[in-house]
Amino acid sequence: MVGGNAIRGTRVGAGPSGESERGESAPRRRVSYWCANGHESRPSFALDAEIPEEWDCPRCGLPGGQDSKNPPAAPRTEPYKTHLAYVKERRSDADGEAILAEALERLRQRRQI
């Protein structure tokens, strides 16, 4: 079947892709990072670039360090807090009882009218 799309199979920027087209690439070096699960990732950096101490593992997302025997620990994830948990952090039980009594009194006054 002959299609009506004459540029089928090509993409923007397609064509010869050599250094003569793009210019010379900067000299690079690869640095190894290991995560707590033992995965190794080897991103490349320009020779004059500052090398970060940690790099996120592309396989599991944990932070990776340059020491394979002592990788950084996984970050502690805080569990989801409910609205009630946040309120209990700000208010004591006595405060809660006082607010509840005040709200009930207002409700009783409205119902008497």
List, as residue ranges, the binding site.
35, 39, 57, 60
List, as residue ranges, the binding site for Zn(2+).
35, 39, 57, 60
Q: CA–CA separation, 60 vs 74, rounded Å?
A: 11
SS3 56: strand
| Type and span of the H or E element at 41 | strand 40-41
Q: Are 65 and 54 in contact (CB under 8 A)?
A: yes
| Type and span of the H or E element at 95 | helix 93-112
